């Protein structure tokens, strides 16, 4: 008779890192679907009239849908758990990516475009529809991933585990421009990029069910040293939640501006050739990946040498804020590859390296409602990001100037650091549960 492993002793620790690997892969697919549009936006602009204003509006709709999905799927994750919900959100956003391929199909866009509309209006509206659905379902990735990581990792291991999870973002962003170049070199159109990436997402689902079986993520976290739970501290909770709100909003403004606009900035403002732009974007995200992993690993090393976990997180957050602030210098560097791109690489390492610190802080939210609370934070962020993307798109269309976006990207995380130093009071560090 086979007895389910989670009912017995914990499994060896490699299992939890395999789970983190699955989270990395999900994040990679999430970002490939997201980056497919930014990497093909210049081509869509030339063929279908997707100008900077329309592009900004599409990004705005994606952001608002992401905000809605953060609350919705945060609640559902608390209610049903990530094991059952995760595959649903993967399937949802993958199908939305596949549906994007019909943006130029007369049959699909005919009912969205009137005879008197400007050229490309049907394509534009179809993209809004698909990106709205994409944003809604992609938001479900984060509560599912964060709760999964919380259930299998210790407080000291979470920054490093979160780094593995978050590094999928940069890995996806590195692969996407290179994949677009490969598709073009083989004679494929932009549609091939969307439907193949969506297909890869569908293939993730059986991997998840093979790795995470029933009961693996369902146990409640034990209290520290198995002591009685501490009384709920409303004031302390509100202070910490305010820090999380400021932090995630600032990180969202920084990361999402560069994610959405960097390829267009290089190709349309500095007139980089597509292959040169793809190389620059790939180097940016490779550096972001290294910075993300290094941030989590540095917290783990500092905590292992006797520093408090929270003190280690604050030190790393401050150092990586310094790297991120270099984004404010980008508009003044000119377009020289060997000056601009190294600075962008440092910026990428800084911005993405801040994310696992935020996730570790968010994983200290009350366990029972962590999905919903994290989802509300996501909603705050993406409402802000969506508003900013629409304003930036209108500004760039009118002036061709990207400076305000880079200034915000570089300086916003400093506000998060200040909030963390002033308001955050660390609590006890929970132990892991489940396998590992």
Report the pLDDT averaged over residues 72-97: 94
Mean pLDDT of the chain: 85
With beta carbons less than 8 A apart as the criterion, state whether 394 and 402 touch: no
State the Cα–Cα distance between residues 81 and 68, nearest whole angstrom: 19
Q: 246-293 pLDDT, tens per residue?
A: 999 999 999 989 988 998 899 999 999 988 988 898 899 899 989 998
What's the sign of the alpha-carbon dihedral 172, 342, 274, 109?
positive
Report the pLDDT averaged over residues 159-165: 84
Query: Which CATH number is correct for 13-220+233-423, 1.10.20.140, 1.20.1250.20, 1.10.357.10, 3.60.20.10?
Result: 1.20.1250.20
Q: 97-140 pLDDT, tens per residue?
A: 999 998 878 776 777 777 666 667 888 888 999 999 999 999 99
With beta carbons less than 8 A apart as the criterion, state whether 148 and 15 touch: no
With beta carbons less than 8 A apart as the criterion, state whether 240 and 369 touch: no
Q: How many CB atoms lie within 10 A of CB 85?
A: 20
State the Cα–Cα distance between residues 279 and 81, nearest whole angstrom: 40
Residue with tokens 């905590």: 303
Instruction: Quickly state the pLDDT bin for 231 (edges 50, 70, 90).
Output: low
Lowest mean per-residue pLDDT among 100-104, 200-204, 314-318? 100-104
With beta carbons less than 8 A apart as the criterion, state whether 214 and 80 touch: no
Closest CA to 45 of 148, 119, 105: 119
Q: Provide the token pair at 106.
A: 């007369």
State the Cα–Cα distance between residues 289 and 167, nearest whole angstrom: 5
With beta carbons less than 8 A apart as the criterion, state whether 75 and 375 touch: yes
pLDDT of residue 260: 84
Distances (CA, A) of 194 to 36, 237, 334: 6, 42, 33
State the Cα–Cα distance between residues 83 and 394, nearest whole angstrom: 41
Q: 388-398 pLDDT, tens per residue?
A: 888 988 899 89
- Higher-scoring residue by pLDDT: 304, 136: 136
pTM of the model: 0.76
pLDDT of residue 6: 39
Q: Provide the token pair at 41.
A: 């936006």
Q: 402-428 pLDDT, tens per residue?
A: 999 999 999 999 999 999 999 987 765
State the Cα–Cα distance between residues 123 and 104, nearest whole angstrom: 6
**Residue 97 parent element (H or E):** helix 82-99
């Amino acid at each position: 008779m086979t007895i389910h492993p989670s009912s017995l002793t914990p499994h060896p620790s490699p299992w939890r890192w395999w789970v983190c690997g699955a989270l990395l892969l999900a994040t990679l697919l999430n970002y490939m679907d997201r980056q497919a549009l930014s990497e093909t936006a210049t081509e869509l602009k030339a063929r279908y009239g997707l100008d900077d204003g329309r592009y900004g509006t599409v990004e705005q709709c994606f952001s608002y849908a992401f905000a809605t999905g953060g609350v919705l799927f945060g609640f559902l994750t608390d209610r049903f758990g990530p094991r059952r919900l995760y595959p649903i959100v993967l399937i949802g956003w993958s199908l939305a990516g596949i549906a994007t391929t019909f943006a130029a199909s007369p049959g699909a866009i005919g009912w969205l475009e009137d005879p008197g509309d400007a050229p490309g209006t049907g394509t534009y509206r179809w993209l809004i529809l698909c990106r709205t659905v994409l944003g809604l379902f992609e938001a479900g990735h984060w509560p599912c991933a964060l709760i999964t990581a919380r259930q299998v990792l210790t407080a000291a291991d979470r920054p490093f585990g979160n780094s593995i999870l978050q590094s999928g973002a940069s890995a996806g962003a590195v692969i996407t421009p290179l994949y677009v170049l490969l598709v073009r070199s083989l004679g494929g159109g932009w549609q091939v990029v969307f439907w193949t990436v969506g297909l890869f997402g569908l293939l993730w689902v059986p991997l998840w069910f093979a790795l995470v079986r029933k009961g693996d993520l369902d146990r409640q976290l034990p209290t520290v040293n198995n002591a009685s739970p501490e009384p709920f501290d409303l004031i302390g909770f509100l202070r910490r939640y305010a820090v999380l709100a400021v932090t995630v909003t600032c990180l969202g403004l920084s990361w999402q501006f560069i994610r959405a606009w960097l390829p267009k900035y290089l190709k349309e403002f500095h007139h980089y050739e597509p292959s040169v732009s793809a190389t620059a974007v790939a180097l940016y995200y490779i550096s972001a990946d290294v910075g993300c992993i290094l941030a989590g690993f540095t917290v783990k090393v500092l905590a292992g040498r006797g520093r408090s976990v929270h003190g280690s997180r604050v030190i790393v957050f401050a150092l990586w804020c310094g790297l991120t602030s270099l984004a404010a210098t980008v508009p003044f560097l000119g377009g020289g590859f060997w000056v601009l791109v190294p600075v962008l690489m440092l910026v990428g390492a800084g911005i993405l390296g801040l994310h696992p610190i935020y996730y570790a802080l968010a994983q200290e939210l009350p366990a029972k409602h962590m999905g919903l609370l994290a989802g509300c934070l996501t909603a705050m962020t993406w409402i802000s990001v969506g508003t900013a993307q629409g304003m930036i798109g209108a500004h760039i269309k009118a002036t061709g100037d990207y400076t305000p976006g880079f200034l915000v990207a570089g300086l916003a995380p400093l506000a998060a650091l200040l909030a963390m130093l002033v308001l955050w009071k660390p609590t006890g560090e929970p132990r892991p549960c489940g396998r590992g």
